[in-house]
């Protein structure tokens, strides 16, 4: 009986060891790419066989004249490859080469990791470093708040028109007077209903100042103060949307700041290919849903042509707009055609529900709009009908848009809709790469300091706990490797200075886990237990303490992650991952190691003869 229990136990331990080894190997391989660095290389290919090949000396001299250094310049018969020392030099070197050799050579650049091929084939990636440690790309966006204001007024004009119909008031004219005000002209003066009508407008748009011009005319205007307020609100909204978009791109450690009156400064860490980021950040896509106009008498008609050239006449007041979209996911229908699944918020859901109930069997038009700058550098809104669908049934807050051109288009639209649409058009006015804010020397010093600190910890543990201390050190090293591995695996994890704070805390926690266990074991030994059972008991009873301590820290970490932004979020990621790895290595790995080393060397443990 006793015998079968021990074999069962041994078998379980064996299985555990295999699983542990497997996990550790996986983490080690994930962490490996961090040993190798990304290199940017620029290729100069000869366009014409008659051209003389540029000699490496020429390039080197040219670069040296501009204070640029490179790792190596390799030349073959028809191709010269320059491997850069510093990623951030890429732009300046490229433009320099294009200026000098651009006529006769084609110049291309590529980023390659100098890891061995077998590692690359596993598609492992190194940890992304934050702005403070490795720099990134800077975008400055211009927000057209003027345009947003006039768009807002345009939609108010439509609202006023439909309100007038509702109140049975005949208006001869409602139009924009200038960018800040609307003029309303009554068809006939002196009607008792006017007052009611104006009160209603006042109630709906408290920000507008009403000003009576004469008997027949009244203006609705944004006062200077309200204009400023509107612009500030628009900027706030746009910054919020930008943060959402950047997060959707999977970049957690970006910096988004308001710059001047109507610009936004965005710094993205570790972005090699700014084009994608640029497309998402600068995009102004929005979706609006319209009803087809049934008769020409309706208020405001919007005319558009769809891709087949069919003319569509729509009610210019949209059923609901993109801002009501709560969630959007791309997917495929049964036929494998790409589509976007939408979830509306409660306001949008109610509108959709009421609208679709009344209009079953009637068509609804989905319009996709985007702002872009035309050749005259003016902002132009380009709208496109992407879908005319017949409402088949009473729809709720969930439905989908079909007829997407490709899966990628569906994904991109979903991303943009998720991150929120912009109320004001934006354009990117500046883009350049930036260097690490901490500076290379500071980073080197920081790493040196961290190494000194951790070495001291390792030495102390080995001195204080002898054999068990060495085991703890191995566990600690494996903890760091696992943490690096996990961080490399997660696309959103970025290492920054605050992240290093998390790392220090993690090392502390990992040491703590081991110290707790070892103190327990010592206690058990003092009570006169046998070595093996002391170890078994030590691990078992320390585990509940460790669990409590780590769960509470994990709670903090998760809450920080869910509400934090930027640096705080990065810190929270490291903290949570660190707790996982230090629990794993501190409890399971070091126990397995202890069991192994006891089998090897039964007499010496904790510096005490047993």
Partner 1 sequence: MNYFLLKQTEFLSKFRLVSFYFAAVFVLLSLFGLFYNGLNLGLDFTGGYLTEFSTQQSLTQNKMEALLTSFLPDTFQLSSAENGTRWSVQQIDNDISMKGKTWLTDFSERSGLTIMPQDAIYIGSQVGEELINQGGLALLTSVIVILFYLSLRFEWRLATGSVIALCHDVIIVLGIFAWFDVSFDLTILASLLAIIGYSLNDSIIVGDKIREIMRRNNESNIDSIINLAIKSTIVRTLITSGTTLATILAIWIFAGESLAGFSIALFSGILVGTFSSIAISATVPQLLGLTADYYLKKEEDVCQLP
Interacting residues with partner 1 between 394 and 433 (CB under 8 A) = 432-433
Which of 154, 258, 278, 326 binds partner 1 (CB under 8 A)? It is 258
477 touches partner 1 (CB under 8 A): no
Q: Which is nearer to partner 1, 133 or 221 (CB)?
A: 133
Nearest alpha carbon to residue 242 among 274, 283, 272 = 283
CB of 28 to partner 1, least distance (A): 24
DSSP H or E segment with residue 381: strand 379-390
- Tell me the window of 276-284, 322-330, 367-375, 569-577 that interacts with partner 1 (CB under 8 A): 569-577
By DSSP bridging, strand 325-332 and strand 320-321 are: unpaired
Stretch of 49-57, 288-296, 342-350, 499-507 lying at the interface with partner 1 (CB under 8 A): 499-507
Which residue from 28, 62, 138, 163 is in contact with partner 1, where contact means CB under 8 A? 138
- Annotate each residue in 513-532 with x if it binds partner 1 (CB under 8 A) or - if it does not, as one string: --xx--x---x---------
Which of 157, 176, 434, 531 is the binder for partner 1 (CB under 8 A)?
Answer: 434
Binding status of residue 68 toward partner 1 by CB under 8 A: yes
Q: Name residue 364's beta-bridge partners.
A: 291, 389
Query: For residue 256, which phi and psi values (nearest 5 degrees)?
Result: -125, 120
Minimum CB separation from partner 1 for residue 66, in Å? Answer: 8
Residue selected from 104, 177, 343, 437 as contacting partner 1 according to rule CB under 8 A:
437
Total of residues contacting partner 1 (CB under 8 A): 81
DSSP labels, 134-152: H-EEEEEEEE-HHHHHHHH
Nearest to 144 by CA among 422, 426, 421, 383: 426
**Is there binding between residue 557 and partner 1 (CB under 8 A)?**
yes
Could you give the CA distance from residue 300 to residue 155 in angstroms, rounded to a whole number? 11
The full DSSP string for 416-439 is: HHHT---SS-EEEEEEEEE--SS-
C-alpha Rg value of the chain to the nearest Å: 33
Q: How far is the CB of 512 from partner 1 (least distance, A)?
A: 4
Span of 114-122, 257-265, 284-292, 302-310 interacting with partner 1 by CB under 8 A: 257-265
| Residue 565 sits in the site that holds partner 1 (CB under 8 A) | yes
Question: Could you tell me if 343 and 398 are in contact, meaning their C-beta atoms sit under 8 angstroms apart?
Answer: yes
Is residue 270 within 8 A of residue 129, CB to CB? The reply is yes
Q: Show contacts with partner 1 in window 534-553 (CB under 8 A).
A: 544-545, 548-549, 551-553
How many other C-beta atoms lie within 10 A of the C-beta of residue 389?
A: 15
Shortest approach of partner 1 to residue 268 CB, angstroms? 14
| Listed residue (554, 599, 584, 573) closest to 478, CA to CA | 584
Among 446, 489, 531, 536, binds partner 1 (CB under 8 A): 446
Q: Is 511 in the site for partner 1 (CB under 8 A)?
A: yes
Min separation Cβ 563 and partner 1, Å? 4
Give the whole-angstrom CA distance, residue 120 versus residue 197. Answer: 70
Tokens of 477: 């090293």
Pick from 303, 431, 369: nearest CA to 147: 369
Among 43, 152, 154, 263, interactor with partner 1 by CB under 8 A? 263
Q: Is 72 in the site for partner 1 (CB under 8 A)?
A: no
Region near partner 1 per CB under 8 A, out of 400-408, 414-422, 512-520, 587-595: 512-520
509 binds partner 1 (CB under 8 A): yes
Q: Are 342 and 401 in contact (CB under 8 A)?
A: yes
**507 forms part of the interface with partner 1 (CB under 8 A):** yes
How far apart are alpha carbons 468 and 610 in whole angstroms?
Answer: 13
List Cα–Cα distances, 340 to 98, 321, 400, in angstroms: 43, 16, 5
Interaction between residue 450 and partner 1 (CB under 8 A): yes
Kindly indicate which of the ranges 310-318, 334-342, 412-420, 450-458 contains the residues binding partner 1, using the contact rule CB under 8 A: 450-458
Tokens 């009508």 found at: 197
Query: Does residue 76 sit in helix, strand or coil?
Result: coil
List the structure tokens of 213.
């011009």
In the complex with partner 1, the residue whose CB is nearer, 42 or 511, is 511
Nearer to partner 1 (CB atom), residue 380 or residue 452: 452
Which of 25, 165, 559, 596 binds partner 1 (CB under 8 A)? It is: 559
| Pairing, β 171-176 against β 301-305 | unpaired
Q: Which is nearer to partner 1, 312 or 580 (CB)?
A: 580
Q: With binding defined as CB under 8 A, does residue 104 bind partner 1?
A: no
Close Cβ partners of 189 (under 8 Å, ≥ 6 residues apart): 215, 216
DSSP 322: G
- Give whichever of 144 and 318 is closer to partner 1, judged by the CB atom: 144
Of residues 195-254, those binding partner 1 (CB under 8 A):
236, 239-240
Buried-exposed string 67-85: b where 16+ CB fall within 10 A, e elsewhere: ebebeebebeeeebbbebe
275-334 positions binding partner 1, by CB under 8 A = none
Shortest separation between residue 461's beta carbon and partner 1, angstroms = 7
- The answer to whether 264 and 256 are in contact (CB under 8 A) is yes
Contacts of 366 (CB under 8 A, 6+ apart): 287, 288, 289, 290, 385, 386, 387, 388, 389, 401
Given 36, 372, 464, 588, the residue binding partner 1 (CB under 8 A): 464
124 is an interface residue for partner 1 by CB under 8 A: no
CB of 532 to partner 1, least distance (A): 22
Give 199 or 445: the residue with its C-beta nearer to partner 1: 445
Cβ neighbors of 596 (< 8 A, separation 6 or more) are none
Considering only 40, 129, 280, 572, the residue that binds partner 1 (CB under 8 A) is 572
CA 212 – CA 59 distance, rounded (Å): 73
Closer Cβ to partner 1, 304 or 580, answer by number:
580
Instruction: Tell me how far apart the alpha carbons of residues 262 and 205 are, in angstroms, rounded to a whole number.
Output: 24
Smallest separation (angstroms) from partner 1 to the CB of 84: 11
- Of positions 40, 87, 89, 97, contacts partner 1 by CB under 8 A: 89
Among positions 366-385, residues that touch partner 1 (CB under 8 A) are none
Residue 445 binds partner 1, judged by CB under 8 A: yes
Looking at the Cβ atoms of 416 and 575, the one nearer to partner 1 is: 575
């Amino acid at each position: 009986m006793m015998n079968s229990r021990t074999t069962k136990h041994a078998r379980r331990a064996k299985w555990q060891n295999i699983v542990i080894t497997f996990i550790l190997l996986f983490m080690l391989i994930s962490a490996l790419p961090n040993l190798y660095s990304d290199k940017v290389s620029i290729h100069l290919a000869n366009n014409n066989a008659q051209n003389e090949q540029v000699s490496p000396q020429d390039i080197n001299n040219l670069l040296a004249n501009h204070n640029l250094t490179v790792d190596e310049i390799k030349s073959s018969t028809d191709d010269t490859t320059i491997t850069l020392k510093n990623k951030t030099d890429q732009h300046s070197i490229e433009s320099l080469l294009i200026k000098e050799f651009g006529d006769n050579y084609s110049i291309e650049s590529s980023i390659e990791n100098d890891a061995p091929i077998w590692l690359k084939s596993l598609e492992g990636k190194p940890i992304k470093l934050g702005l403070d440690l490795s720099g990134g790309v800077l975008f400055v966006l211009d927000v057209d708040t003027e345009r947003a204001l006039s768009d807002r007024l345009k939609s108010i004009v439509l609202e006023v028109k439909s309100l007038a119909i509702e109140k049975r008031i005949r208006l001869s004219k409602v139009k924009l007077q200038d960018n800040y005000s609307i003029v309303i002209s009554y068809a006939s003066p002196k009607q008792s209903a006017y007052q009611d009508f104006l009160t209603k407008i006042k109630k709906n748009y408290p920000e507008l100042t009403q000003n009576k011009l004469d008997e027949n005319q009244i203006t609705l205007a944004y006062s200077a103060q309200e204009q400023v307020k509107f612009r500030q609100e628009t900027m706030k909204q746009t910054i919020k949307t930008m943060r959402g978009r950047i997060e959707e791109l999977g970049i957690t450690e970006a910096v988004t700041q308001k710059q001047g009156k109507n610009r936004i400064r965005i710094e993205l860490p570790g972005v090699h290919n700014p084009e994608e980021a640029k497309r998402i950040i600068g995009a102004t896509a929005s979706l609006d849903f319209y009803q087809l106009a049934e008769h020409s008498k309706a208020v405001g008609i919007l005319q558009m042509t769809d891709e087949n050239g069919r003319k569509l006449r729509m009610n210019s007041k949209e059923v609901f707009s993109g801002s009501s979209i709560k969630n959007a996911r791309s997917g495929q229908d049964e036929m494998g055609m790409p589509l976007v699944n939408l979830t509306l918020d409660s306001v949008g859901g109610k509108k959709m529900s009421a609208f679709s109930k009344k209009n079953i069997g009637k068509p609804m038009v989905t319009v996709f709009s985007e702002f872009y700058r035309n050749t005259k550098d003016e902002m132009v809104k380009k709208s496109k009908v992407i879908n005319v669908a017949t409402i088949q049934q009473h729809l709720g807050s969930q439905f989908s848009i079909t007829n997407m051109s490709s899966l990628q288009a569906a994904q991109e639209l979903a991303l943009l809709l998720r991150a929120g649409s912009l109320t004001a058009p934006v354009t990117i006015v500046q883009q350049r790469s930036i260097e690490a804010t901490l500076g290379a020397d500071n980073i080197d010093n920081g790493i040196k300091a961290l190494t000194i600190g951790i070495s001291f910890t390792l030495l102390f543990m080995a001195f204080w706990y002898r054999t068990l201390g060495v085991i703890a050190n191995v566990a600690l090293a494996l903890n760091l490797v696992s943490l690096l591995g996990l961080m490399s695996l997660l696309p959103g994890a970025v290492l920054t200075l605050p992240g290093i704070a998390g790392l220090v805390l993690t090392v502390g926690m990992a040491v703590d886990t081991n110290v707790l266990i070892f103190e327990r074991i010592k206690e058990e030994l003092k009570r006169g237990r046998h070595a093996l059972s002391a170890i078994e008991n030590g691990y078992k009873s320390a585990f509940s303490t460790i669990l409590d301590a780590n769960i509470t820290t994990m709670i903090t970490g998760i809450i920080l992650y869910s509400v934090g932004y930027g640096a705080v979020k990065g810190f929270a990621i490291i903290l949570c991952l660190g707790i996982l790895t230090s629990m794993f290595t501190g409890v399971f790995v070091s126990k397995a190691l202890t069991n192994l080393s006891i089998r090897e060397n039964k007499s010496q443990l904790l510096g005490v003869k047993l």
